[in-house]
């Protein structure tokens, strides 16, 4: 058993009980779809994000994931962190050529019903950029965010 993951789970449960949030469980249709898509997932923690959507954090196949489901049980997306080495080579080449890879904050692999994307968060001095790539390594979108807006 991974001590760090256990500690995170215990901390989350303690926090919920301290601030007396009533844990609400998603409808059975959502739970059924989740169990079919992610059999044997562990450390499952659900949170209703709004009236229509549910976000779930969990461990599956030795990785930490989050997934989004609507209230009808339709899976909308899932996200997990990945390492730079696991990116398609075209993305790695682009980053090595144009950016300081030491300034990469996080890399996400995002799955939706229709696609798979990679999101790279990059921050250097006063620049904060988000890059979105498809599985072929093509840049789909680049978003620049003012660092002052990250502080507020």
Q: In terms of pLDDT, which residue wins out, 51 or 8? A: 51
Write the DSSP symbol of residue 137. Answer: -
For the chain, the 3-state helix, strand and coil shares in percent, each to the nearest 5, are 30, 40, 30
pTM of the model: 0.75
Alpha-carbon gap, residue 28 to 34, rounded angstroms: 10
In this predicted model, what pLDDT tens digit does every residue of 25-65 receive, in sequence order?
899 999 999 999 999 999 999 999 988 899 999 999 999 99
pLDDT bracket for residue 19 (50, 70, 90): very low
Residue 87's φ and ψ, nearest 5 degrees, are -75, 155
Looking at the DSSP assignment, which residues form a beta bridge with residue 44? none
């Amino acid at each position: 058993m991974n001590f760090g993951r256990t500690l995170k789970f215990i901390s989350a449960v303690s926090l919920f009980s301290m601030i007396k949030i009533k844990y609400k469980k998603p409808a059975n249709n959502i739970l059924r779809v989740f169990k079919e898509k992610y059999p044997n997932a562990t450390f499952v923690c659900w949170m209703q994000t709004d009236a229509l959507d549910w976000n779930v954090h969990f461990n599956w196949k030795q990785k930490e994931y989050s997934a989004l489901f609507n209230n009808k049980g339709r899976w909308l997306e899932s996200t997990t962190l990945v390492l730079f080495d696991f990116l398609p080579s075209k993305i790695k080449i682009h980053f090595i050529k144009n950016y300081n890879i030491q300034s990469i904050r996080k890399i996400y692999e995002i799955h939706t019903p229709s696609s798979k994307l990679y999101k790279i968060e990059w921050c250097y001095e006063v620049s904060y950029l988000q890059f979105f790539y498809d599985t072929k390594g093509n840049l789909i979108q680049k978003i620049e965010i003012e660092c002052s807006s990250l502080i507020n």
